[in-house]
Amino acid sequence: MNAMTEIDAGVLQVRDLRVELPGQVDVVSGISFSLAAGEILGLVGESGSGKTTLATALLAHARRGARIVGGQVHVGDQALLSLEGEALRRARGSLIGYVAQDPATALNPALRIGHLLRETLAAHPSGLDREAQQQRLIETLRDVGLPDDHGFLRRFPHQLSGGQQQRVMLALAFVLRPRLIVLDEPTTALDVSTQAHILATLRRLCKSQGVAAVYVSHDLAVIKDLVDRVMVMYAGRIVETATRDELFSRPSHPYTRGLLAAIPDVAGRRELTAIAGHAPAPGRRPQGCSFGPRCERFTAGCAVAEPLLQMNAAGRGVACLAPHDQALQVKALAPIAALKGRVELPLLSVSGLNVAYDRQVLFDVSLQVQPGECLAIVGESGSGKTSLARAIAGLGENAEGALDYAGRHLPLHARQRDAGLRHQIQYIFQNPYRALNPRQTVYQTLSAPLAHFFGVKGAPARERVEAVLKRVSLPGSVAGLYPHSLSGGERQRVAIARALLCEPRLLICDEITSALDVSVQASILDLLRQLQREGLTMLFVTHDLGVVRAIADRVLVLKVGRVVEQGAVDDVLDHPQAVYTRTLLEHSPSLR
Amino acid sequence: MLEPANPPRTPAWLSWFIGRLGYGLLTAWVISLVVFIATQALPSDPARVILGPDAPLESILTLQHQLGLDQPILWQYLRWLGSVLCGDLGVSLDSNAPVSRILWGRFGYTLALLVGVIIVVVPGALALGVALALRRDSWLDRWGLSLLIFLKATPGFLLAIGLVLLFSMPHMDFLPAVSILDPDLSLLRQLKSLVLPIFALSLTALPYLTRMVRAAMIEAQESDYVIAARLRGIAQRRIVWCHTLPNALVPAIQGVALTLRTLIAGAVLAEVIFSYPGIGTALNAAIQMRDLPMIQAIVLVITLAVVLINLLADLLTVLLTPKLRTARRVTLIQRNRRGITPWWRRSRGDA
Amino acid sequence: MSDGFSRRVFLGSSLAIGGGLLLGGCDSGATTQGAAVLSGKPVSGGRLRIGIIDGDQSGNLDAHKPVGGGIIRGWALYSKFWEWNTDVSTRLALAEFAEPNADASAWTIRIKPGLEFHHGKTIGADDMLFSLLRLTDPKLASPFAGLVGAIDRNALRKLDERTIEIRFKQGQSFFPLDETLISFGGIVPTDYDPITNPVGAGPYRLKRFVPGQRSLYTRFENYYKPGQPYADELEIIEFKDQVSRVAALRAGQIDVASGVQAEHSALLKADSRLSLCVSPSTSFTGFNLNLAKPPFDDVRVRQAFRLLADRRELVDRGLNGFGRIANDLYSPHDPTYDHAIAQRPYDLEQARSLLRQAGQTDLRVELTTTPGPGVNAALVFAQQAKKAGVEIRVTQVDGAVFNGPQREQWQVSPGSTPARGFLASALHNDAPLAIYNRSNFHDPRFDDLYRKALAQPDLELRKGLVHEAQQIQHERGGLLIWGFNDVLDAASVKVGGLAPEQTTFASWRFDELWLKHA
Amino acid sequence: MSARRWLAEPQTRKGALITLLVVVVALLGPWLAPHGSTDMVGPVYGAPAGDAWLGYDFLGHDVLSRLLSGGLSVLWMSVAAASIALAVGTTLGLLAGLSRRRLDQFITWSADVSLAFPDLILVLLIVSMLGRAPWLIVLTVSIAFIPGVIRLTRASAVAVAGQEFVEAAQMMGYSRRRILFKEILPNILTPLLVHFGNMLTWGVGMLSGLSFLGYGVAPPTADWGLMINENQAGLLVQPWAVLAPAVLIGVFAYGTNILAEGIGRSSARLGDRQA
């Protein structure tokens, strides 16, 4: 298994790294890999896979409660895990830089940018005099694409945009010229165009300065153009490692293949397959292969012993007893053009919608939704897409304009709509963690609308709840549970079930998959498509063009509160007219 | 609707501050009005209290007239307000001395007491809170917390009585059990007399602040920016002092303001117990004696002090929070803020 | 509480006093040494620090309208025509001559020559007249004006530069002028002002006054008693409560604690650095039974109440044992007091039978009192009454309410009067001219006897009148006087000149107190 | 279900135990007392002796008997004050948090105004004004507590009301009453309960403080706060008459406080808030 590390005694060498929670429960274990100068490694896994734990363990840091209990991390000739106190402090930053996930929280709100940078320089013996330090500072700022003037240095983090904040994080990491940089999902919180720019900057810096990088991500598409090599993690183990091209063209591990099959791609409509089940929590891992219970190639042997990562001579490794060796077949789907050209009374039409809070967020927006179609509303943060969705749902405030529903006037406030109308328009929220009352069981949550709209109570209600749970692929036993014992995906399913019980004709989905892992997202999208086939009309709000391609019939692009383009999905995505749409498409990560 | 093209030249917090100042003064005025009306509702008559049991009715009527007690309440209030605005707080019904003269010295003593408590408690709570936060879940932390809860629960005046009891025992005379102050000597030379009251009040104030600092420190210590700083190789000491503390300080400032407010109430009891000649004893006495000008003046002073304290705390919060300091419109302060919109009319930014 | 300091301290009702001793005495912890110091020759100099309790009243400096600690401060600032003897009789002070005429309808008063006020002005008849006019001025609204309400302001006359004549309204007679004028009749100059110019002819002159906290005085060199006072400076420090003052006394923060609580006597006695002075005063404490309210309009009920009071226990619990039992009559020190009237016994049986006769078997009455020390005796009495089947509900009201318009309406209320002669005491209680009369006792024969006594300067003749009046009080009066309380003063053994007396103010004789300073 | 969850926290159990102990003493005490609470059976400030473990008080009552009889008033008064404050404060707080701006502003502003005034002083003023009948004192103390409850309720309610599940309910067109009682109230119950425990603690402190200043329950009622007041004079001679009630007050306050802390902690641990 160590073939590769022997070939390339590079910048970083990790051997048998193990991080535990109290009670000898391992979060990650058996991690070994190495990295050469200038090489960028993508570390991919879903939530709970241990990727962040591994990333920070590279800096000899474990989050509260966890402990690094074994293994070695060498950066150059420094054995990082054996360092303590002052020596460890110096190694952090100067040997390995770290870029955290959310720059908004990772920059101290009370300190100026210049202060942070200077402090970082001063914390390490750089041998630079004052002049040279200032020089280094300016250089670094330029490198990461930030202004280098005095005024900028005097700014506070909140005075910067998200992209600028993340560039500051990059500058803080690069200013010490470390040999390795660990980046923990640094672009998740950013818009696609910003993300694309940051990734480009990062790649340029690593290559020009010969800095190795470990880039942690949950999204394979994001890292496709960035990294040289990919390492896939599942349940605290490395399940596959390969060069980028090999991994994307011929993934070996069933999990890797599952992930790739679950990712919607902006470049073309494809069939999405969810991975059944969900990842085991630390301490609840099954005997043998952790992925076993979710694996379609599961055999009795898989349950016996944990498969080890087998490296081949080409530096490719997979931890599976029965790895695939073919290329992944992507099933492209034909465009759905059925609705095109059909002139019918629209189910919903919005005209001249303006919404303003302390500033105006929507300007004269008009749109129409045909019965049975799925209209996607796409935009970056601040585009007003959520305000639009909320206004249609009757939750918006300070909205003006006309709504028509099935030819009838639709009041702007949910309360003013009559019950018969209200149940037909349902809304599903982005955050599944706050969408359900934590003090009510699933059954209470679900039965309430039944009683409210249809007066259905008792046994019939119970039957309907059971039926709808089945429809959203949840076991009937969920009904007795409180939300806190459900996972995010399950909660979102309950939320969908609640909407379905109202027998809606129009379902408004506000970024309902953005808080979920891709494999879960695929299953939710699958469910929505199913519903759509059953005749449900949908308004789908998202920032992800891949999702748009996967689910929508038509798309409407919003930019800072104005509609810049709308049309059939394939028309817009394949032949964008507006410059803005084109930029969005260019920057959207794709698997192709 | 749209943001102004040019940011205003004066910082936004200044206009906010002026607004808050006006609001505070309004609060003080309303309280003075309420208290004035309330004291008029006192079932007894200051004239009788002053003159005692032997006074004949004629004397009482005469005094009532002299004190203006026989006039309509509103008129009395306006007269009082008018003279207060001219800086005249009136004359004490009890001692016939000008209220401002009596209160001036007492106010100074109470201020000395409160300042003393703050000098003890703020660094104490910071140090203790930081220490406990850094040793979270250690035995020190657990025992420290238990002790703090105990102190928090014990009524403050019981602590004070205990101290008096302890220090009036033989061989405990290195500290005066009661704090009679000699106005001839400067307070600095009588610091010994301040020790026990300050100690008693500090004990009651310490738990809240310490726990607040501890919680804020723990929150800050676990924040992303501290982890990021640590992973940049910034030294622990520097992280604590430069990164964590400034952020933990902001809630602590509101905590100090709240503490001061409760301390003013606590001072009434403590001053009575230690015979400390401050505002608290004066208020208690004035209430007993129905000395309306005194009650009015003390209430006014206390209200203004609280308003001022809150204002200062808010101002410090704004100034210490860069995001608020540099904002175009300051809208932080939950207290007194007009408006978190009701939930069905709530504005929401784009998510 | 509203009773204010003056009454409480003056009456001593709140204070504790000497464990059932008939003889008071200064009882030093270090007995021998203390006694030696006390009997020594007065030493001059030093600052004498007196700790007083002013409750919540800060009081003023007014000579004629003293409130709160103002009464005590008045002892330092002002001198009067007379001063008190230790047996509660009077002697001349500023006056060298003060006599009533034959029917006591006028008094002539002449002061000693060459007396001065603190600011150097010589005391003359104008000042004497000014002082009297000021005391009785309705505009001043002095609570004590009532005591000398008989004085006719328009008939005051200056006879010469040192002599004045006082006449009484409508030809009334008023023999006890000395006892009523002595306390609040401070002689002040015509340019007197209690706030801007508080000068008098007392042993000390004011240096500074901080209301509610303390006042500081310096020795008055031209005090009318040569060589006195002794200390260079006098400081009167006000305390809110007894515990803190005792702590201060023990810590040496004050030299004298004026009027300490009986509860602390053991503690003080045990301290060798302190001495305790127990004055067996003739201030009485008791209850007013309101004749205007049923059931006390029935003399049998009144007598029953007087019988069911266990006076011994009341003294023991209500006064902590520091006092002596009384026989429902006041002023036992007065030469006119009738000692022949037998002490009323504690007789539950007779009380019950009297109540039965009166048809009051299931009696409930309300005892109204102010919060404070007076409550204790009320609670004890209520407990005793239970044994006779009488339920007494003790209600506390605010002092201002207690002394308010309803003050003569309370069914039962505590009553007490400082040590005074019979005639003056009656003025506080049941005399026809009484300032107010909580028991509403109005008896034609008694009133007649009292008026005659007022006009009778002759002791023997007055004795006969008073004896009969007291007989009436004992048989059908409205006062249940169960005890006389002692006054306790504590002082450092360094303090001299403090001796027990029958008055309540042994520790206020600031011209007598001196400090032994090492 | 909540109660079981709270009791899982050791601190809650400890607090409940201590509180219960004091409550039991207060409830059963009058029957266990060797003497009547107003019987004068010993010497004034008599020292503890064989049958009088805690000695005698200012009038010669048996301190132990008075102690056993004197708990009820403090307890019911503090519970009543806290309950009234909770009921009124929650109502007003919800009204403020969930109603139109005008009313919200007015209520919030009123709460602010009264919060600008130290609570004990407020209570002193009102009690001296209205008198010292127990129910008046209870009412007064609760008035001092109400602004705090209003602010807590309002803040919690606004935070909960901003969550999507409430918006969902609103969109469904559920009645306001239903939203209030089913969606919002259950979710702010925990902080309110913690606050209730704290109010008990403060209430006990404030009531005994009032008694200490002479504004409390009227004698001869046996009452822990009053005992401190009436026996103060004997503090240096017979400290037990003051210390014993003081200790019980302290213990009760400690117990309720720990209980509140425990409930708060168990909820925080189970992530009630973040939900």
Domains of chain C (ranges plus CATH)?
204-281+486-515 (3.40.190.10), 284-485 (3.10.105.10)
Nearest to D163 among A415, A434, A449 (CB): A434
Which chain B residue is nearest to residue D162, measuring alpha carbons? B343
What is the structure's pLDDT at D161? 81
What is the structure's pLDDT at C205? 92
User: Chain A: which residues have CB within 8 Å of chain D?
Assistant: 393-395, 414-415, 417, 419, 422-423, 426-427, 429, 431, 433-440, 448-449, 452-453, 483-484, 495, 498, 502
Q: D172: closest CA among C267, C423, A422?
A: A422
Query: How close D214 comes to chain C (CA, Å)?
Result: 8
Structure tokens at A211: 């800095």
pLDDT of B295-318, one tens digit each? Answer: 888 888 888 888 888 888 888 888
Reported as a pLDDT band with limits 50, 70 and 90, residue A186 is confident
Compute the distance between CA of residue A569 and CA of residue D173 in angstroms, rounded to an integer: 34
∠ Cα D40 D41 D44 (to 5°): 70
pLDDT of A210-255, one tens digit each? Answer: 889 999 988 888 888 888 999 999 888 889 998 888 888 888 888 8
Phi first, then psi, for residue A351 (nearest 5°) are: -140, 135
Contact A502/D174, CB-based, under 8 Å? Answer: no
Reported as a pLDDT band with limits 50, 70 and 90, residue B182 is low
Eight-state DSSP code of residue C217:
E
pLDDT of A391-420, one tens digit each? Answer: 888 887 778 888 888 888 888 888 788 878
Question: Which residues of chain B have a CB within 8 Å of the CB of A101?
Answer: 224
DSSP string covering A313-361, please?
TTS-EE--SS---SPPPP-B-----TTTT-----SEEEEEEEEESSSEE
Query: How close B114 comes to chain A (CA, Å)?
Result: 29
Letter for the amino acid at A146?
A: L
Contact C404/B62, CB-based, under 8 Å? Answer: no
ipTM surpasses cut 0.85: no
Q: Find out whether D219 and D160 touch, Cβ atoms under 8 Å.
A: no
Reported as a pLDDT band with limits 50, 70 and 90, residue A1 is very low
Structure tokens at B208: 């809240």
Question: How many other CB atoms are there within 10 angstroms of residue A372's CB atom?
Answer: 19
Reported as a pLDDT band with limits 50, 70 and 90, residue B346 is very low
Letter for the amino acid at C493?
A: V
Which chain D residue is nearest to residue B282, measuring alpha carbons? D121
CATH superfamily of B101-327: MetI-like (1.10.3720.10)
Question: Which residues of chain B have a CB within 8 Å of the CB of D116?
Answer: 24, 27-28, 31, 261, 303, 306-307, 310
Cβ contacts of C383 within 8 Å, gap of 6 or more: D38, D39, D40, D220
Mean pLDDT of all residues belonging to chain A: 85
Q: Which sequence spans correspond to the domains of chain B?
A: 101-327
Compute the distance between CA of residue A152 and CA of residue A172 in angstroms, rounded to an integer: 15
Percent of chain C, pLDDT > 90?
A: 9
Compute the distance between CA of residue A474 and CA of residue A395 in angstroms, rounded to an integer: 28
Contacting subunits of B (3+ beta carbon pairs below 8 A): A, C, D
What is the structure's pLDDT at B2? 38
Question: Which residues of chain A have a CB within 8 Å of the CB of B229?
Answer: 108
Residue window 285-344, chain B: list those with CB within 8 Å of chain C: 285-290
Residue D16 pLDDT exceeds 50: yes
Reported as a pLDDT band with limits 50, 70 and 90, residue C217 is very high
Letter for the amino acid at A483?
A: P
Which chain D residue is nearest to residue A430, measuring alpha carbons? D164
| Strand, helix or coil for residue C442 | coil
Reported as a pLDDT band with limits 50, 70 and 90, residue A342 is low
Overall average pLDDT of the C405-424 stretch: 84
Residue C468 pLDDT exceeds 80: yes
What is the structure's pLDDT at B172? 67
The number of C-alpha atoms within 13 Å of A407 and in the hemisphere containing its C-beta is 2
Q: How far is CA C32 from the centre of its chain?
A: 32
Structure tokens at B123: 């660094």
Q: Find out whether C182 and C83 touch, Cβ atoms under 8 Å.
A: yes
pLDDT of A69-102, one tens digit each? Answer: 888 888 888 888 888 888 888 888 888 899 988 8
Q: Find out whether C3 and C402 touch, Cβ atoms under 8 Å.
A: yes
Question: Which residues of chain D have a CB within 8 Å of the CB of C261?
Answer: 233
Query: How close B205 comes to chain A (CA, Å)?
Result: 27
Query: How close A514 comes to chain B (CA, Å)?
Result: 12
Mutation target to probe the A interface, by most A beta carbons within 10 A, among B223, B231, B340 is B231
Contact B342/D99, CB-based, under 8 Å? Answer: yes
Residue A149 pLDDT exceeds 90: no
What is the structure's pLDDT at A465? 92
The reported pTM is: 0.79
Structure tokens at A108: 């101290």
pLDDT of D159-184, one tens digit each? Answer: 888 788 888 888 888 888 888 888 88
Beta strand pairing call for C284-289 and C479-485? antiparallel
Structure tokens at A451: 């009683």
Question: Which residues of chain B have a CB within 8 Å of the CB of A381?
Answer: 350
Residue D189 pLDDT exceeds 60: yes
Residue window 128-187, chain B: list those with CB within 8 Å of chain C: 164, 167-168, 173, 176-178, 180-184
Beta strand pairing call for C204-210 and C214-219? antiparallel
pLDDT of A260-308, one tens digit each? Answer: 888 888 888 888 888 877 778 777 888 888 888 888 888 888 888 888 8
Contact C253/B178, CB-based, under 8 Å? Answer: yes
Contact B289/C57, CB-based, under 8 Å? Answer: yes
Question: Which residues of chain B have a CB within 8 Å of the CB of D167?
Answer: 343
Which chain A residue is nearest to residue B327, measuring alpha carbons? A159
Phi first, then psi, for residue A532 (nearest 5°) are: -60, -40
Residue A475 pLDDT exceeds 90: no
Overall average pLDDT of the C419-438 stretch: 83
Domains of chain A (ranges plus CATH)?
3-227 (3.40.50.300), 254-334 (no CATH), 337-424+504-592 (3.40.50.300), 438-501 (no CATH)
Percent of chain A, pLDDT > 70?
A: 96
What is the structure's pLDDT at D185? 87
- Give me the helices (H) in chain B, please: 12-40, 46-51, 57-67, 73-85, 99-134, 139-153, 156-167, 191-221, 224-231, 236-238, 245-274, 279-289, 292-320, 322-325
What is the structure's pLDDT at B332? 41
Reported as a pLDDT band with limits 50, 70 and 90, residue D268 is low
Which chain D residue is nearest to residue C241, measuring alpha carbons? D233
As a CATH number, domain D2-47+54-270 is 1.10.3720.10
Nearest to B31 among D113, D128, D151 (CB): D113
Compute the distance between CA of residue B205 and CA of residue D186 in angstroms, rounded to an integer: 32
Q: Which sequence spans correspond to the domains of chain D?
A: 2-47+54-270
The answer to whether D17 faces chain B, any CB pair under 8 Å, is no
